[in-house]
Protein backbone atom coordinates (compact mmCIF):
# COMPACT_ATOMS: atom_id res chain seq x y z
CA UNK A 1 0.00 0.00 0.00
CA UNK A 2 1.22 3.50 -0.84
CA UNK A 3 0.73 5.11 2.58
CA UNK A 4 1.83 8.57 1.47
CA UNK A 5 -0.74 8.66 -1.33
CA UNK A 6 -3.41 7.38 1.05
CA UNK A 7 -2.38 9.85 3.76
CA UNK A 8 -2.54 12.74 1.29
CA UNK A 9 -6.19 11.87 0.52
CA UNK A 10 -7.23 12.28 4.17
CA UNK A 11 -8.81 15.52 5.36
CA UNK A 12 -7.09 15.86 8.78
CA UNK A 13 -3.57 16.26 7.31
CA UNK A 14 -4.94 19.01 5.04
CA UNK A 15 -6.44 20.83 8.01
CA UNK A 16 -3.14 20.53 9.85
CA UNK A 17 -1.22 21.83 6.83
CA UNK A 18 -3.56 24.83 6.49
CA UNK A 19 -2.94 25.70 10.13
CA UNK A 20 0.82 25.20 9.79
CA UNK A 21 1.02 27.41 6.69
CA UNK A 22 -1.30 30.15 7.98
CA UNK A 23 0.21 30.46 11.46
CA UNK A 24 3.32 32.48 10.48
CA UNK A 25 1.18 34.99 8.56
CA UNK A 26 -1.20 35.34 11.48
CA UNK A 27 1.65 35.71 13.98
CA UNK A 28 3.27 38.44 11.90
CA UNK A 29 -0.02 40.31 11.49
CA UNK A 30 -0.79 40.08 15.21
CA UNK A 31 2.59 41.60 16.12
CA UNK A 32 1.39 44.89 14.63
CA UNK A 33 -1.46 44.82 17.18
CA UNK A 34 0.81 44.04 20.16
CA UNK A 35 -0.66 40.58 20.74
CA UNK A 36 1.01 37.19 20.45
CA UNK A 37 -0.56 34.12 18.89
CA UNK A 38 -0.79 32.49 22.33
CA UNK A 39 -2.60 35.55 23.68
CA UNK A 40 -4.84 35.63 20.62
CA UNK A 41 -5.90 32.02 21.22
CA UNK A 42 -6.89 32.91 24.78
CA UNK A 43 -8.83 35.96 23.63
CA UNK A 44 -10.62 33.81 21.04
CA UNK A 45 -11.89 31.50 23.77
CA UNK A 46 -12.99 34.41 25.94
CA UNK A 47 -14.98 36.29 23.28
CA UNK A 48 -18.63 36.08 24.23
CA UNK A 49 -17.88 34.39 27.56
CA UNK A 50 -19.49 36.75 30.09
CA UNK A 51 -18.67 34.85 33.29
CA UNK A 52 -15.13 33.98 32.19
CA UNK A 53 -13.13 30.81 32.77
CA UNK A 54 -10.83 29.70 35.54
CA UNK A 55 -7.17 29.45 34.55
CA UNK A 56 -7.44 25.68 34.90
CA UNK A 57 -10.41 25.53 32.49
CA UNK A 58 -8.69 27.84 29.99
CA UNK A 59 -5.61 25.60 30.06
CA UNK A 60 -7.80 22.54 29.42
CA UNK A 61 -9.57 24.23 26.51
CA UNK A 62 -6.21 25.21 24.99
CA UNK A 63 -4.64 21.82 25.67
CA UNK A 64 -1.76 23.26 27.70
CA UNK A 65 -0.70 23.23 31.35
CA UNK A 66 -1.87 26.03 33.68
CA UNK A 67 1.72 27.19 34.31
CA UNK A 68 2.26 27.52 30.53
CA UNK A 69 -0.79 29.73 30.39
CA UNK A 70 0.42 32.04 33.17
CA UNK A 71 2.80 34.15 31.09
CA UNK A 72 0.18 34.86 28.43
CA UNK A 73 -2.46 35.65 31.06
CA UNK A 74 -0.10 38.10 32.77
CA UNK A 75 0.71 39.76 29.45
CA UNK A 76 -2.96 40.15 28.55
CA UNK A 77 -3.74 41.50 32.00
CA UNK A 78 -0.88 44.02 31.78
CA UNK A 79 -2.23 45.19 28.39
CA UNK A 80 -5.71 45.62 29.88
CA UNK A 81 -7.23 43.05 27.52
CA UNK A 82 -8.42 40.69 30.24
CA UNK A 83 -9.43 40.99 33.86
CA UNK A 84 -9.66 38.59 36.77
CA UNK A 85 -12.94 38.49 38.65
CA UNK A 86 -14.06 36.49 41.67
CA UNK A 87 -16.10 33.38 41.04
CA UNK A 88 -19.61 34.01 42.40
CA UNK A 89 -19.78 30.57 44.05
CA UNK A 90 -16.18 30.15 45.25
CA UNK A 91 -14.21 33.24 46.26
CA UNK A 92 -10.94 31.30 46.06
CA UNK A 93 -11.33 30.96 42.29
CA UNK A 94 -10.50 33.85 39.99
CA UNK A 95 -12.23 33.82 36.63
CA UNK A 96 -10.61 35.36 33.58
CA UNK A 97 -12.70 37.32 31.12
CA UNK A 98 -12.23 40.02 28.51
CA UNK A 99 -12.16 43.58 29.75
CA UNK A 100 -15.39 45.29 28.67
CA UNK A 101 -13.61 48.29 27.12
CA UNK A 102 -11.44 46.23 24.72
CA UNK A 103 -11.99 46.97 21.02
CA UNK A 104 -11.12 44.11 18.68
CA UNK A 105 -12.30 45.76 15.46
CA UNK A 106 -8.78 46.00 13.99
CA UNK A 107 -7.91 42.41 14.83
CA UNK A 108 -11.32 41.31 13.59
CA UNK A 109 -10.61 42.99 10.25
CA UNK A 110 -7.21 41.29 10.15
CA UNK A 111 -8.82 37.84 10.56
CA UNK A 112 -11.47 38.61 7.95
CA UNK A 113 -8.77 39.76 5.50
CA UNK A 114 -6.69 36.63 6.11
CA UNK A 115 -9.69 34.39 5.52
CA UNK A 116 -10.73 36.29 2.40
CA UNK A 117 -7.23 35.86 1.03
CA UNK A 118 -7.15 32.15 1.89
CA UNK A 119 -10.58 31.48 0.37
CA UNK A 120 -10.36 33.60 -2.76
CA UNK A 121 -11.54 31.88 -5.94
CA UNK A 122 -13.69 29.47 -3.91
CA UNK A 123 -17.43 29.76 -4.45
CA UNK A 124 -19.71 30.68 -1.60
CA UNK A 125 -21.52 27.38 -2.14
CA UNK A 126 -18.28 25.43 -1.62
CA UNK A 127 -17.39 27.56 1.42
CA UNK A 128 -20.82 26.87 2.95
CA UNK A 129 -20.34 23.12 2.45
CA UNK A 130 -16.82 23.32 3.90
CA UNK A 131 -18.09 25.17 7.00
CA UNK A 132 -20.83 22.59 7.49
CA UNK A 133 -18.42 19.66 7.09
CA UNK A 134 -15.80 21.19 9.39
CA UNK A 135 -18.50 21.96 11.93
CA UNK A 136 -19.55 18.31 11.90
CA UNK A 137 -15.92 17.18 12.25
CA UNK A 138 -15.52 19.50 15.25
CA UNK A 139 -18.69 18.12 16.79
CA UNK A 140 -17.51 14.54 16.19
CA UNK A 141 -14.14 15.04 17.84
CA UNK A 142 -15.12 17.41 20.64
CA UNK A 143 -14.75 15.96 24.14
CA UNK A 144 -18.46 16.47 24.79
CA UNK A 145 -19.44 14.26 21.84
CA UNK A 146 -17.49 11.36 23.38
CA UNK A 147 -19.71 11.59 26.45
CA UNK A 148 -22.85 11.21 24.32
CA UNK A 149 -21.93 7.80 22.96
* Per-residue pLDDT tens over the stretch 100-125: 888 888 888 888 999 999 999 999 99
- Residues 149 and 144: their CA atoms lie apart, in Å, by 10
102 and 89 assigned to the same domain: yes
Q: How many domains does the chain have?
A: 2
Q: What is the CATH number of the domain that holds 99?
A: 1.10.10.10
- DSSP for 8-63 reads HHSHHHHHHHHHHHHHHHHHHHHHTTT--HHHHHHHHHHTT-SS-EEHHHHHHHHT
51 and 95 assigned to the same domain: yes
Mean pLDDT by 10 residues, the chain (149 residues): 85 91 91 90 88 90 88 92 89 89 85 93 97 94 60
112 and 129 assigned to the same domain: no
Domain residues for the domain of 126 are 119-149
140 and 78 assigned to the same domain: no
100 and 29 assigned to the same domain: yes
66 and 77 assigned to the same domain: yes
Task: Determine, yes or no, domain membership for 65.
Answer: yes
90 and 125 assigned to the same domain: no
**pLDDT at residue 148, as a whole number:** 46
Predicted TM-score (pTM) of the model is 0.77
Helix (H) or strand (E) holding 47, with range, is: none
Amino acid sequence: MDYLAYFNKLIMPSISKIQRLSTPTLEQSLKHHDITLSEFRIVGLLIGEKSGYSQKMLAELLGISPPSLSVSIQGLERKGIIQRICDPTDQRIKRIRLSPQVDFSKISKLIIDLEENATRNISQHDLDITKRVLGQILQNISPTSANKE
